[in-house]
Amino acid sequence: MAIAIAVILLVIGSVLFHFLSPWYFTPLASNWDTIDLTVDITFWVTGVVFVLVNLFMAYAIIRYRHRKGLKADYEPENKKLEWWLTAITTVGVVAMLAPGLVVWAEFVTVPEDAGEFEAVAQQWQWSFRFPGDDGVMGQSAVRLMTIENPFGLDPEDENGLDDVLVFGNEVHLPVGKPMKALLRSKDVLHNFAVPQFRVKMDLVPGLVTYLWFEPTKAGRFDLLCEEYCGLAHHTMRGDVVIEEQADFDIWLAAQPTFADTLAIPVADATAGQALYAPCAACHGMQGEGNLALNAPKLSGQEGWYLRRQLNNYKNGRRGTDPADMFGAQMAAMAGTLPNAAAVNNVIAYIQTLPDLPAAATISGDVDRGESLYLTCAACHGRDAMGIWSVSAPRQAGMSDWYLATQLRNFRSGLRGTHPQDGYGEQMASMSMMLLDDAAINDVLAYINTLPVDDKPRQVAILEQ
Amino acid sequence: MGILKILANKPWEASGEIDNLEGGGVVEAPPARVGLWAFLAVATSLFGLFSSAYHMRADYADWQQLSVPALLWLNTAILILASVAFQWAWMASRNGRLKAVRDGLSLGGLLTLAFLILQLVAWNQMISAGFFAQSNPANAFFYLLTGLHGLHLIGGLWVWQRTTSRFWAGLDQEDAEQVGAFRLRVELCAIYWHFLLLVWLVLFGMMLST
Amino acid sequence: MAYVAIADRPDELHHPHSFITKYVWSQDHKVIAIQYSIIAILVGLIALGLSFVMRLQLAFPDTFSFIDPSIYYQSVTMHGMIMVIYLLTALFLGGFGNYLIPLQLGARDMVFPYMNMLSVWVYLLSVIVLLASFFVPGGPTGAGWTLYPPQAILPGTPGTDWGILMMLLSLAIFIVAFTMGGLNYVTTVLQARTRGMTLMRMPLSVWGIFTATILGLLAFPALFVSAVMMSFDKLLGTSFFIPAVLSMGDVLETEGGSPVLFQHLFWFFGHPEVYIVALPAFGIVSDLLSVHARKNIFGYRMMVWAIVAIGGLSFIVWAHHMYVSGMNPYFGFFFATTTLIIAVPTAIKVYNWVLTLWKGDIHLTVPMLFAIGFIFTFINGGLTGLFLGNVVVDLPLSDTYFVVAHFHLVMGVSPVLVVCGAIYHWYPNITGRMLNDGMGKVHFWMTFIGTYCIYFPMYYLGILGLPRRYYSNGVTDFIPDSVSAVNIAITVSALIVGLAQLLFVLNLITSLRFGKKAEQNPWRATTLEWRTPEYPPGHGNWGPELPGVYRWAYDYSVPGAEKDFICQDEPPTEGQGA
């Protein structure tokens, strides 16, 4: 008896939950209202079955629960009833399947007037490409991918030179225009999903997959990777900004073309030496760092990382929080580098400095640090020498006290909160696994035990 | 009695019957034979799936057709002979010609051993010709499929060895039960070898053609 | 076809003499069944523990220092793999299959007892290899239970050095073990039924297990193939599944491989696997309902046909797991259609279960409670399968918590409810004692209500767009703060359910000693396992003669009969059919 009542209550509760709970689809922001319709149809059909069958079962239990003298019927089968039920079920199935297939046919057929863009996924970042003025995207290949050419575009391919490249996790799209997303992955499986657009598709290395949608609402939407792609899967975020065509055109025009990225002048280390003089005051003549002045070691750090951080400081993505005193100092100093060429030159000079391992200042439980570092190693490498393709800088042989400060800054929100600092956001998210200073020290103590290898690495971003 | 007819039975109507249509087995066969056929179904699924993986992978651009070592033709002939020998042993066992059974079994086993050794030689030829597993998926499939087929033959040889040792240990020809069990073993060996020959022919043809 | 004499030679059975041969290297199907079950339940408890690692992290992020992303994803992976393969498959086929097939069919044992014994020990070996992967450098694989390449074998995923290889090795060993057992189950069903036990007189439990075994025998090779090929990719650097990729800054030497090919192979196994778990549950629950409602199962023939149809169809629906995998999108039309077709026989089974209750004499025993709990849970989980099976409806829901809720209810909780009901039902047959009824009821209510509270809200998190396989949700505009409250509620429910399972284990252990002595056939069932001369069934199951079967398994409340059940081996009395 109790079970029948429980079933009835669960049915009522489920239906109430469906209608009353605040958790349901996000407001639709694309043309795919038909998908929502198919979901609604399915909810109605299955909902009716759910309620009817369960209530019938509960009724049967109440009515035919064992009492003295009750005897069950003997009815091996009832052909007519069974065929009727089969027929009704078939009708219900067709009612769900038919509209579903119609909408799927729409999904697989991209409208002819759709614009195109490419979303490129890699562990654990997004980047994007637009076809440029000729409307055709150039060829790409994995073997062409380098620090200078992360998209792997073929410089020989005329069609590719005017392709507009979007470095970073944010893409803009015009409202009211159907867009076909070509999906390409550099390494493992990923998935392109914006909940408000309803559609999603995996990105598969070796294939170009696609989906299409027409944004109908201006705004900023989260782009998620929804296919498990390794340790930092949950931090693989992007932004899709939907805006009016005119704003979109302005944004697109501000992005470099592939030809632009090929034309960056060779950096001049000699010119960089002069620019480095003010840096040396804190970071040391050899870039060896200075704990007393809170200036970390620079020598041996990857060029692409130095450039990104200098640009972050210059563009107000880092060192803006008043509580981050040293960051604010550095932001001011970075501002004195007048332009991109100056940044490149000073980095070129830093890369000529001798790379001597920084002295260890932090101790902790090395064994615990080692097991914690397993997670860090996914990006920073087992040798902690950094991996350019996942944008993770070197840690081994660098100033450990600085790393500790930065880990605390990431945890407390002093760093990695700026919306344009996607990598910082990732690190902030991952740093949450180090719950306290002891954990931070353990990891750094482990990193201090790692030998600094001096095998030649792809350090240079600018020496071409 | 067809399976459809069985499934259409209304079991509640036949209450009281006992010595009815199906008896103990669906087919008149000792369990070992049914078990072997079931295993062959599993192995067919296994090799079938490998073949479909092979064909799906072959559709990709980087696929280079295998340059099959000529030795494999000889090996194929040897395996056919092994199968013939087992068939001979099986037929002889049905007529009770035990000497012929012995010869057939021994010959079949030795030919199979020769096949396996020559397969290893073929591997060696492939490797010295620079066709490593990692150089092309067709090569990788070659090692994989021949290896798997070879493992199945080795499993067969284990049963073969048990069968022949039973024979050498002395078979009481008067004991009908013993002879029956022995005959069944020979039969199962023969079926298994025919199956593996068939698998080999399909695999070989596949590697030649794709 | 004339009646074929059954080779019944009790003297040929392997007769154990010492403790070792009786309980360790035993060839008795009943002992093997218990060995299988104990290993499966123990490893299942480990997997249950792993699920708490996930739930604690999701409800209380950044609270527990031992849960970092590596541990989290490793827990996800091992939890899934253990539950699906090493617990449910092993328990239903190795455990229930071994126990029920010979007893319910009137056989003395499996037809190949020695191979049966090997099967359980090889299974144990696979479990040991699996568990050993927790102790290798880098820990077990964290590639997700589907082990998708390339990430399963490339750096950036936990356990790509040793863990993944141990996993693949363990799976290969498991498949060998399963094949040895499976050949036994199939051959025994086909060839070793007792006199009169026609196929259509078999209890549905056996039908479910039999069909599931055939599925397993044909589908597991696909997993074997993919495991072998992935090991080649990992160990030899071949390019079966790995295309040209840029991994951690290095362009690898691989070229042209197809990750989608792996997915096809995996799901060609993976979807039948769902039914390998579900069909035995379907069969067993049919018998539980029939016995405890004192009524024949409604539409027996339709039930058998549905089992066979579902088994057949399960081989042509696999790509519904891959709608957004990047495979040719036109496949979607075919697979959505086949998938929704499979809903029809499944729905028929549900109707027939409910109609079995209708006009029954329903005894609300603990097994019956579990059976009813199963129907409710399965209806819920099954219906949401219609969302995910319909290709376009799947688009917004794929890869979200909706999927997690669906498959947990339909192939996690539902089969587990059947397992529990079945254990309460057959425990007296195995041990001669009843399980404690009060503890059983507490166990049922905590499990039934608790699991629904875990998974029902998850549907709505999924509809909201919450992705699965996330260590933490991070800052996202569309996820409201209330989600963390839901997550806490779910975790609390999960802890309650976990506690209930400990109570169940306690009941299993204490009842062995203190349980009420069971009379033979305490549920007044018709099937042969309750009719053995020794009780609990002894070695060889039957006395000098095998039982003969005169009727189907569902002669409950036959009009005119004096009792409300007639056992299958009871000869007809005057006036009854002949």
CB–CB contact A193 C452 (8 Å): no
Q: How many CB atoms lie within 10 A of CB C452?
A: 22
Q: Is the peptide bond before C536 cis (omega within 30 degrees of 0)?
A: yes
For the question of whether the overall pTM of this predicted structure is more than 0.80, the answer is yes
Rounded to 10 degrees, the C-alpha dihedral A407/A410/A414/A420 comes to 140
Chain C hits for B134, Cβ within 8 Å = 236-239, 253
Whether chain C has a CB inside 8 Å of the CB on B46: the answer is yes
List A416's β-bridge partners, or say none: none
| Residue C571: per-residue pLDDT | 87
Identify the band that residue A454 occupies on the pLDDT scale cut at 50, 70 and 90.
low
**Structure-token match 């390449």, residue found:** C149
Q: Report the range out of A452-456, B170-174, C411-415 with the highest average pLDDT.
A: C411-415
Whether chain C has a CB inside 8 Å of the CB on A439: the answer is yes
Low-confidence winner among B133-147, C14-28, C256-270 (lowest mean pLDDT): C14-28
Taking the CA of residue A124 and the nearest CA in chain C, the distance in Å comes to 10
From the number of C-beta atoms within 10 Å of its C-beta (0-12, 13-18, 19+), residue B39 rates as buried
**Structure-token match 């397992």, residue found:** C419
Q: Closest Cα to residue A419, out of A286, A290, A318?
A: A318
Which chains does B contact via 3+ CB–CB distances below 8 A? Answer: C
| Residue B1: per-residue pLDDT | 54
Chain C hits for A72, Cβ within 8 Å = 293-295, 359-361, 556-557, 564
Q: Which 5-24 residues of chain A touch chain C by CB within 8 A?
A: 6-7, 10, 14, 17-18, 21-24
| Structure tokens given for C39 | 């290993």
| Contacts for C427 with CB less than 8 Å, ≥ 6 apart | C433, C434, C435, C508, C511, C515
Whether chain C has a CB inside 8 Å of the CB on B11: the answer is yes
Residue B167 is classified by DSSP as H
| Residue C2: per-residue pLDDT | 30
Q: Which 75-114 residues of chain A touch chain C by CB within 8 A?
A: 75-78, 81-82, 85-86, 89-90, 93, 96-97, 100-101, 103-105, 107-108
**Structure-token match 């690495």, residue found:** A457
Chain B hits for C105, Cβ within 8 Å = none
Q: What sign does the CA torsion over B107, B112, B113, B115 have?
A: positive
Q: What sign does the CA torsion over C302, C304, C305, C310 have?
A: positive
When CB atoms are compared, the residue of A90, A103, A389 closest to C392 is A103
Gap between the Cα atoms of A350 and A370, Å rounded: 31
Mean pLDDT of A23-41: 95
Taking the CA of residue A31 and the nearest CA in chain C, the distance in Å comes to 13
Residue C136 has pLDDT above 80, yes or no: yes
Q: Closest Cα to residue A39, out of C337, C460, C456, C329?
A: C460
Which chains does C contact via 3+ CB–CB distances below 8 A? Answer: A, B
Average pLDDT of every residue of chain C: 92
CB–CB contact A230 C476 (8 Å): no
Residue A167 has pLDDT above 50, yes or no: yes
Residue A453 has pLDDT above 70, yes or no: no
CB–CB contact A49 C464 (8 Å): no
Rounded to 10 degrees, the C-alpha dihedral A435/A439/A444/A445 comes to 180
Gap between the Cα atoms of A298 and A156, Å rounded: 36
| Contacts for A239 with CB less than 8 Å, ≥ 6 apart | A169, A170, A171, A220, A221, A222, A223, A419
Question: Do A130 and A117 contact (CB within 8 A), yes or no?
Answer: yes
| Residue B136: per-residue pLDDT | 86
Size of interface A-C (CB pairs under 8 A): 373
Question: Do A123 and A187 contact (CB within 8 A), yes or no?
Answer: yes
Gap between the Cα atoms of B58 and C116, Å rounded: 39
| Residue C13: per-residue pLDDT | 64
Residue C132 has pLDDT above 60, yes or no: yes
| Residue C157: per-residue pLDDT | 93
Gap between the Cα atoms of A414 and A428, Å rounded: 9
Chain C hits for B57, Cβ within 8 Å = 240, 257-258, 261
For the domain with range B32-209, which CATH number is right: 3.30.429.10, 2.60.40.4070, 1.20.120.80, 3.40.190.120?
Answer: 1.20.120.80
CA angle C387, C391, C392 (to 5 degrees): 85
C349 phi/psi in degrees, rounded to 5: -60, -45
Q: Which 199-258 residues of chain C touch chain A by CB within 8 A?
A: 243-249, 251, 256-258
Helix (H) or strand (E) holding A200: strand A200-203
Average pLDDT of every residue of chain A: 91
Q: Which amino acid is at A410?
A: F
Whether chain C has a CB inside 8 Å of the CB on B70: the answer is no
Q: Which amino acid is at C391?
A: V
Gap between the Cα atoms of B31 and C367, Å rounded: 35
Q: What is the pLDDT of residues C143-173, one digit of tens each?
A: 999 999 999 999 999 999 899 999 999 999 9
Taking the CA of residue B114 and the nearest CA in chain C, the distance in Å comes to 26
Residue C382 has pLDDT above 70, yes or no: yes
| Residue C8: per-residue pLDDT | 55
Which chains does A contact via 3+ CB–CB distances below 8 A? Answer: C
Question: Do A30 and C329 contact (CB within 8 A), yes or no?
Answer: no
Gap between the Cα atoms of C431 and A220, Å rounded: 64
Gap between the Cα atoms of C45 and B180, Å rounded: 48
Domain ranges of chain B: 32-209
Low-confidence winner among A43-47, A131-135, A215-219, C284-288 (lowest mean pLDDT): A131-135
Whether chain A has a CB inside 8 Å of the CB on C158: the answer is yes
Q: Which residues of chain B have pLDDT under 70?
A: 1, 16, 18-26
Gap between the Cα atoms of A359 and A364, Å rounded: 15
Going from the C-alpha of C111 to that of each of A412, C180, C212, C368, the distances in angstroms are 67, 12, 18, 33
Q: Give residue C570's Cα distance to chain centre.
A: 33
When CB atoms are compared, the residue of C183, C238, C552 closest to B39 is C183
Q: What is the pLDDT of residues C228-237, one digit of tens each?
A: 999 999 999 8
Q: What is the pLDDT of residues A400-447, one digit of tens each?
A: 999 999 999 999 989 988 888 888 889 998 998 898 999 999 999 999
Residue C578 has pLDDT above 50, yes or no: no
Taking the CA of residue C441 and the nearest CA in chain A, the distance in Å comes to 11
Q: Give residue A16's Cα distance to chain centre.
A: 36
Terminal-residue alpha carbon distance, chain A: 80
Going from the C-alpha of B16 to that of each of B20, B21, C152, C571, the distances in angstroms are 10, 13, 59, 6
**Structure-token match 């769900």, residue found:** A96
Taking the CA of residue B120 and the nearest CA in chain C, the distance in Å comes to 18
With b for 16 or more beta-carbon neighbours within 10 A and e for fewer, the A437-451 pattern comes to eebbbbbbbbbbebe
Chain C hits for B32, Cβ within 8 Å = 112
Gap between the Cα atoms of B146 and B138, Å rounded: 12
CB–CB contact B144 C264 (8 Å): no
CB–CB contact C111 B35 (8 Å): yes
Reduced to 3 states, what is the DSSP secondary structure of residue A172? strand
Q: Is the peptide bond before C150 cis (omega within 30 degrees of 0)?
A: yes
Optimal mutation site among C352, C392, C401, C556, interface A, most CBs of chain A within 10 A: C392
Taking the CA of residue C568 and the nearest CA in chain A, the distance in Å comes to 16
Mean pLDDT of C123-144: 95
Taking the CA of residue C178 and the nearest CA in chain A, the distance in Å comes to 29
Q: Closest Cα to residue C203, out of C286, C313, C115?
A: C286
Low-confidence winner among A18-22, A121-125, A306-310, A323-327 (lowest mean pLDDT): A323-327
Q: In terms of pLDDT, which residue wins out, C511 or A320?
A: C511
* ipTM (interface predicted TM): 0.92
Domain ranges of chain A: 2-67+78-107, 115-257, 269-447
The percentage of chain C sitting over the pLDDT mark of 70, rounded to a whole number, equals 96
**Structure-token match 């696609």, residue found:** A210
| Contacts for C541 with CB less than 8 Å, ≥ 6 apart | C102, C103, C106, C107, C108, C109, C532
Q: How many CB atoms lie within 10 A of CB C578?
A: 11
For the domain with range A115-257, which CATH number is right: 3.40.140.10, 3.30.420.40, 2.60.40.420, 2.40.30.10?
Answer: 2.60.40.420
Taking the CA of residue B28 and the nearest CA in chain C, the distance in Å comes to 7
Q: What sign does the CA torsion over B91, B92, B93, B95 have?
A: positive
Whether chain A has a CB inside 8 Å of the CB on C12: the answer is no
Q: Which 240-259 residues of chain C touch chain B by CB within 8 A?
A: 240, 253, 255-258
Taking the CA of residue A93 and the nearest CA in chain C, the distance in Å comes to 6
Whether chain C has a CB inside 8 Å of the CB on B140: the answer is yes
Identify the band that residue C6 occupies on the pLDDT scale cut at 50, 70 and 90.
very low
Q: Closest Cα to residue C94, out of C208, C163, C177?
A: C177
| Residue A156: per-residue pLDDT | 92
Whether chain C has a CB inside 8 Å of the CB on B110: the answer is no
Q: Strand runs (DSSP E) across A214-255, as ranges?
A: 219-224, 237-243
Helix axes B176-209, B98-128, angle to 10 degrees: 30
